[in-house]
Structure 1
Amino acid sequence: MRRLGVTLTSALTSALTSALALALALPATAAPPGASPGASPDARPGGPDPFRDGWSETVVDADQNLRGLAAVSRSEAWVTGESLTDGGPARVFRTTDRGRTWVDVSPELTEDLSFRDVEVHGRVAHVLAIGPGEASRIYRSTDGGASWTEAFRNTDEDAFYDCMAFYGGGKRGLAVSDPVDGKLRMLSTADRGRSWSVLPSRGMPASDGEFGFAASGDCLVTAGRSAFLITGGKRSRVLRSDDRGLTWTATPSGIPAGEAAGGFAGDFASPRHGIAVGGDFADADDTEDTTAFTRDGRTWTVGADLRHVGEDVSFLRGTRYAVATGDYGGSAGSSITSDGGATWKRVSTLGYHAIECVATVCWAAGSKGRVGRG
C-alpha cells in the first residue's frame, strides 16, 4: 500500500506492577479474567516483568524513522529505517552491548529507500526496502552487516512489498506484496535468502483492496511450520499457510477494516496462540477493537481495546505476556497483556513503531531514531 546516542529514561506507571501482581496471583490452572478456558497450555500465566526498570530510550539517529527491528538477544539488536530528510539514505544500525553503542552497518547507495523490516539468523541478516516497482528490494549480509549483496529487486511496477518473515533456522522465508491481479503476491526463498522467487497465486484467496501494512515489518510472521499474514484495507483478516506459502486460508480478525485501517501486525507464541493488533491511521484516536487473539490458530476473537494505536506486538516466550505498542498521529503508548491478548493494561505513554521481546527483555524502535529497551 502507498502509505503511510543521547540516553533518556522513563519510569512506567504503577499500573504495570498492579497488572503483573494480579496475573502472578492467579492459580496456574485457572484462566485469567477475560481469557477463554482454552488459554494456551504451553504458556505460563506468570513470567518475568520486562519493565521493572521502565523503558530506557536511546536516540540512535534523529534523522531516521525506525520501523524495522530484529531482537537477537538481550545484548544484540538491529534496527532499520528511512530518512526524514527528502532524498536521504535509509540506514541499518546494530548493537551488541545492550544498546550502549550503535554501529551504522548500512548497505551503500540507499538514498530514497525505506527499510521497513530486518530479519537476523546467526551472522545472516536480511533487510527489506518497501515501495512500488524497484523500490522494493531485499539486501543480504553474511558478516554481521560489514558487507551486503542485493538478493532481490522487484521489477513489477504493480508489486509493492510490505513485510518478510523467516521460518525457524532461517533457511526458508517469505515476503508479501500488495495485490497483483487481485491477489496478494508471495515471494519465497529456500536457500537462506540467497535467491527469491514469486510463488504461484492459485493458492491465495482473492484480495483486491486488501493489503499488508508496512508499519513494523510484522504483517507477516511465522510460528513452527505455519505462516500468518495480517491484513487491512477493504477486509481485515488473518491468512494462514501450513505449506510454506503455497496455499492460504483466510479468517476475519474482527479488527475494523478501512482505507487506512485494519490489522497492522501480529505475533504467535505457537501456531495455535496468537495476537493481532491494528487501528486506523486516518483516525489514530479511534482505538476501539484494535486487538484480536486466537486460541486455536484459526478463529479469532476481538480483545480489549488499547488506548493507543497498535502498530506491533510481541510475546515474551514461554508466557502469556505480550506487549503491544504504537505511535502515530498523537496516539502513542505501550500496553501489556497477561492472558494472551484478551485483556490489556496501558503501562506507558511512550510508543514505538516496532517491538520484539527476547528472554526477559523487550526492544522497541520508533520515530526520530528512538530505540527503547525494557
Structure 2
Amino acid sequence: MRTLSRTLTAPLYAVALVALSAPVAAAAPLSPAADLEWSVSTVDADQSFRGLDAVDAQTAWVSGASVSGGAAKVYRSTDAGSSWVDVSPPGSTGLNFRDVEAVDARTATVLAIGEGEASRVYRTTDGGATWTETFRNDEPTAFYNCMDFYPGGQRGLAVSDPVRGKFRIIATEDGGRSWEVLPDAGMPDSTGEANFSASGDCLTISGRDAWFGSGGAQSRVFHSEDGGLTWSATDSTIPAGEAAGVFALAFRTPGQGVAVGGDFAAPADGVDATARSNNGDTWRSAGDLAHLGEDVSWLGHRLVVVGQGGSVGGSSVSIDGGRSWRQFSTALFHTLDCTDDGACWAAGGSGRVGTL
C-alpha cells in the first residue's frame, strides 16, 4: 500500500489438550497456549522479513528488504531452520521483497512491492541459483502488495492498490512465467482503499476461491469465484483507518475463514482485530487480540496469529475458530506459515525467524 507499506519498516508444532484429573470436579483442559514456544534465530540482521512460505517441516523460504538501503534478500532452509542459504536474485538493491510463494525447495516466486517499476515478480526453478524477472509494472500509479497461487501452482494472482479507483489484478496461467493485467470491469469501486503488504497474505486462495483484504477508507474483504475476473466486497467488521484494516486472511476450507488486522497507529490495541466467516462471503467480529494481527495461519483445527508494530507485538493461538485468543509469546514477527505436516514458521524484523 502506497501510504501504508512505506511505514512498515521494517518445527514442529505438536500440542495435545490433556485433562487434569480431579476427584470431585470435571476434568479441565490446559490453556490453549500451554507448552507453545518459538525457537528464534537471526538469519540476517539487516533484513526485515515479511515474506514467508513454508513447504513442509523441513523447507521454507523467507524474503525481505534491507533496513540500511542495501539489497533485498531471499533465504531458503531445507533442514527445518537449522541453517539458511542466501539465494537472492541479483540486482535487488533498493527493492522490497514482501511476498514469496514456493512450490518446493527448487521452485519459488517472489514479489517486490512499490510504486511503478518497483513492483516486480521474479521466479526460480533451481533453488535460487538463477532467477528470471517475469513481470515489471509499467503503470506509474500501481503498487502491488501480495500474491498467491491456486492449487496445482499454475494459475496465480497478485493485487495492486487501486488504479483509477479500482484494485488492479494481474494473473498467471503458467506458474508465474508470465503475467497479464486483468480487466477491471468486475472489480467494485475501491476509491480510498488500499492493501497492506504487512505479511504477504493480504491475498489468499483456497480451492477455486480467492480473497483479499483492504483498509483505508473502508475495511473490506473482496471475494472472487472465477479466477479473479469478478469480485464482491463485504464489510470485514475490522475497523478502517489510514493505517488500519485487514492485514491478512487464512481459510481452512473455501467456507471457513479468518481475517486479522488492526491499526499500525495503535499496535497495542487488538480490539476487534479479527473476523471470521462460515461461508466465505459474510463476516462477523471474532475475538480480540492483545497485539496486531499481521498474519494468521491454520494448523489443523487451531489458528495461530502473529503481529508486530514497532516494539509491540506477540503471538496468539485460538482453538475455537477465532472466537477467542490466548497470547503465548511476545516474540516479534510479521509473517507466519503453518503446514499440513505440523510445522509452523514465522519471520520478522532484524532478520528473525522462528519455528514453533
Instruction: Give the structure-2-normalised TM-score.
Output: 0.91
Deviation at 1:212, TM superposition (A): 1.1
Instruction: Show the counterpart of 2:60.
Output: 77
CA-to-aligned-CA distance 1:258-308 (integer Å, 9 cap, x gap):
011001001000100011100101121222100001111111111111000
Residue identity over aligned pairs, in percent, reads: 55
Deviation at 1:195, TM superposition (A): 0.5
Deviation at 1:52, TM superposition (A): 4.0
Deviation at 1:121, TM superposition (A): 1.1
Return the match for 1:356 from 337, 340, 347. 337
In structure 2, the CA distance between the partners of 1:216 and 1:338, relative to structure 1 (3 Å rule), is same
Instruction: Show the counterpart of 1:308.
Output: 291
Structure 2 gaps of 5+ residues are: 8-13, 20-28
CA-to-aligned-CA distance 1:103-149 (integer Å, 9 cap, x gap):
00000000000000000113321000000000000000011111100
Is 2:271–2:289's contact at 8 Å kept on the other side of the alignment? yes
Q: Report the secondary structure of 1:288's partner residue.
A: coil
The amino acid that maps onto 1:361 is A
Structure 1 gaps of 5+ residues are: 5-15, 23-45
Instruction: Give the structure-1-normalised TM-score.
Output: 0.87
Taking only aligned residues, the RMSD between alpha carbons, in angstroms, comes to 2.0
Instruction: Show the counterpart of 2:176.
Output: 193
Q: Report the secondary structure of 1:258's partner residue.
A: coil
Instruction: Show the counterpart of 1:330.
Output: 311
**Residues of 1 paired with 2:155 and 2:309: CA distance?**
33
Instruction: Show the counterpart of 2:167.
Output: 184
Return the match for 1:90 from 60, 67, 72. 72
**Residues of 2 paired with 1:256 and 1:95: CA distance?**
37
Instruction: Show the counterpart of 2:214.
Output: 231
Is 1:103 aligned with 2:85?
yes
Equivalenced residues, count: 336
In structure 2, the CA distance between the partners of 1:17 and 1:107, relative to structure 1 (3 Å rule), is closer
Is 1:155 aligned with 2:106?
no
Is 1:121–1:169's contact at 8 Å kept on the other side of the alignment? no
**Residues of 1 paired with 2:141 and 2:195: CA distance?**
15
Q: Report the secondary structure of 1:134's partner residue.
A: helix
CA-to-aligned-CA distance 1:292-350 (integer Å, 9 cap, x gap):
0111111111111100011000001xx32010000112321100011111111111111
Instruction: Show the counterpart of 2:45.
Output: 62
Deviation at 1:351, TM superposition (A): 2.6
The amino acid that maps onto 2:142 is A
The amino acid that maps onto 1:340 is G
Instruction: Show the counterpart of 2:97.
Output: 115
Instruction: Show the counterpart of 1:370.
Output: 352
In structure 2, the CA distance between the partners of 1:231 and 1:255, relative to structure 1 (3 Å rule), is same
Is 2:59–2:78's contact at 8 Å kept on the other side of the alignment? yes
Is 1:133–1:160's contact at 8 Å kept on the other side of the alignment? yes
**Residues of 2 paired with 1:110 and 1:244: CA distance?**
31
The amino acid that maps onto 2:228 is G
Is 1:173 aligned with 2:156?
yes
Deviation at 1:50, TM superposition (A): 9.8
Is 1:346 aligned with 2:302?
no
Q: Report the secondary structure of 1:206's partner residue.
A: coil
Q: Report the secondary structure of 1:99's partner residue.
A: coil
Instruction: Show the counterpart of 2:11.
Output: none
**Residues of 2 paired with 1:130 and 1:179: CA distance?**
14
Is 2:209–2:225's contact at 8 Å kept on the other side of the alignment? yes
Q: Report the secondary structure of 2:108's partner residue.
A: strand
**Residues of 2 paired with 1:215 and 1:354: CA distance?**
8
**Residues of 1 paired with 2:115 and 2:329: CA distance?**
35
Deviation at 1:57, TM superposition (A): 0.5
Instruction: Show the counterpart of 2:228.
Output: 245
Is 1:144 aligned with 2:127?
yes
Return the match for 1:271 from 250, 254, 259. 254
CA-to-aligned-CA distance 1:45-79 (integer Å, 9 cap, x gap):
x9xx9984621001000000000000001010000
Is 1:50–1:361's contact at 8 Å kept on the other side of the alignment? no
In structure 2, the CA distance between the partners of 1:51 and 1:203, relative to structure 1 (3 Å rule), is farther
Is 2:193–2:216's contact at 8 Å kept on the other side of the alignment? yes
Is 1:256 aligned with 2:231?
no
